Amino acid sequence: MATLPSDIFHASIGEINAKLKAKEFSCVELTRAFCDRLEKLGPRYNALALSMRQKALKKAKDVDGDIKIQRFRGPLQGVPFGAKDLLSVEGLPTAWGAKPYAGQTFKETATVLKKLDKTGAVLIGKLAMVELAGGPTYRFAAASSTGPGLNPWDTTLWSGGSSSGSGSAVAAGLATFALGSETSGSIITPAAFCGITGLRPTYGLVSRHGAMALSWTLDKIGPMARTAEDCALILAAIAGGDAKDQGSAGKSFYYAPQFQPPLTEVRVGFAETDFAEWPNPTAQPEFQKALEAVRALGLKLKPVKLPEFPYGPVISTVISAEAGAIFEELITSGRVDQLADAKQIAALKASLDIPAKDYLRAMRIRSLIQEAFRELFFEVDLLFAPARFGPANKAADPLDRGTGRPAPSTRGLAALIPASNLAGLPGISLPCGFAGNAPLGIQFVSRPFNENLLVHVGKAFQNATDWHRQRPRIDA
């Protein structure tokens, strides 16, 4: 049996695939090593919902058979990954992070997991999440049947929600990549907090069939990985139309770096206040360094600000109203009281009382937001801002605790996460430094179906910096 180098747990997709093709180790050996690590360290971060060792080793054996006869299926072949536990696997528990759904099984596997299976990628486990993907709201990181997601960089810190297990697993080297989901920040936030790369695709680009719904008109599934290029390779595999998802855009994604414009031609909108005034004081110097690193790429930076809309109330109304309809039986049966977070229980109960006129008004404002972004993207190609304005929260602290600092008078792009989700826009979070030992992230957002440009700029940023190569110290 081959001895695997320790750095394989933090290797990129391309590096692992190349080593498998060179037969430096077998896929079975690789998969067993990752399963051992996931099962041993996953509980340390409350990241593991379900180990899939048996199925994974069976798949790995098939991959070894393909490689033996030089049947190569692409860059994901043989690569171990994890999936957020809102994605169904036929016959296996899919609990959605919530006690009322413990032991729940489905007769069909989620479309994205079927697509990854065809590439030869190896699913080694279901990863923990905030219960019901955090909807409509929650107060504590412990809002999960598996406990609070803990950050591999510092286990007193939160790993971010709602894709908490996905963020922790990739950062700790428990999986090469993971699938997360975002309704309003659930890929971008844990990617930033855990020091990894996360790509939120355009609404409708990736099928959600077989995934728990929180908001029919907002939910998106996307990759969380080591690098921007890794995210592109994953997105190319999972994107595409699906008649079983009524929100499907019927479009595919092909990673095409050779067709992207020179960086000097890319127009990037940003706001100085987002880097000088909004950040936590401990993070502000690092965000300034990230801003200078972006300037050094030669991008055309242009001052902009978000159109004036009540983004928070609008997205809150949409999520609450749709979650109330989706989880009506959970609420009316009383099983909602089994959830772990009192604020979430109260919010779900209140969601049944939202008047139709409020939901329709929110959707009308949303259409105006989408039109405003279409106009903004005549001026720029990308929007650029901190992913979050500081490092991760303490895992034990209430998430609605204020910063204690007055908000700057200039709005900038501070509401970019809810705004871009309402508009269905793609975004990418990239590691950009540390506040103490806690990672920080920046985000780029673009017009719909412009993921290639996001990856192009993200890869250039990562080629010029080494923040994405940093690893948490883990005593196995």
Q: What's the CA gap between 432 and 342, in Å, rounded?
A: 35
Catalytic, 220? Answer no
Kind and range of the H or E run holding 289: helix 284-296
* pLDDT at residue 403, as a whole number: 80
Q: What's the CA gap between 235 and 425, in Å, rounded?
A: 15
* pLDDT at residue 44, as a whole number: 98
pTM tops 0.95, yes or no: yes
CA 66 to chain centre: 31
* pLDDT at residue 404, as a whole number: 77
* pLDDT at residue 1, as a whole number: 54
Q: Check if the beta carbon of residue 249 is closer than 8 Å to that of residue 204.
A: yes
The catalytically annotated residue of 186, 248, 351, 429 is: 186
* pLDDT at residue 246, as a whole number: 96
* pLDDT at residue 2, as a whole number: 66
176, with CB counted inside 10 A (0-12, 13-18, 19+), is buried
The catalytically annotated residue of 162, 168, 248, 320 is: 162
pLDDT tens for each residue of the chain, 476 residues long: 567 988 999 999 999 999 999 999 999 999 999 999 999 999 999 999 999 999 999 999 999 999 999 999 999 999 999 999 999 999 999 999 999 999 999 999 999 999 999 999 999 999 999 999 999 999 999 999 999 999 999 999 999 999 999 999 999 999 999 999 999 999 999 999 999 999 999 999 999 999 999 999 999 999 999 999 999 999 999 999 999 999 999 999 999 999 999 999 999 999 999 999 999 999 999 999 999 999 999 999 999 999 999 999 999 999 999 999 999 999 999 999 999 999 999 999 999 999 999 999 999 999 999 999 999 999 999 999 999 999 999 999 999 988 878 888 889 999 999 999 999 999 999 999 999 999 999 999 999 999 999 999 999 999 999 999 999 999 76
* pLDDT at residue 47, as a whole number: 98
Furthest C-alpha separation in the chain: 65
Q: Which amino acid is at 331?
A: I
| 224-238 per-residue burial string, b: 16 or more CB within 10 A, e: under 16 | bbbbbbbbbbbbbbb
The catalytically annotated residue of 12, 59, 84, 446 is: 84
Catalytic, 351? Answer no
Domains of the chain in start order, with CATH, are: 1-304+383-476 (3.90.1300.10)
Catalytic, 186? Answer yes
Query: Which residue do the tokens 């909807």 mark?
Result: 135
Q: What's the CA gap between 419 and 82, in Å, rounded?
A: 29
Sheet containing 267-270: give its strands across. Answer: 48-51, 122-127, 80-84, 177-182, 220-225, 197-200, 427-435, 438-446, 382-386, 267-270, 300-303
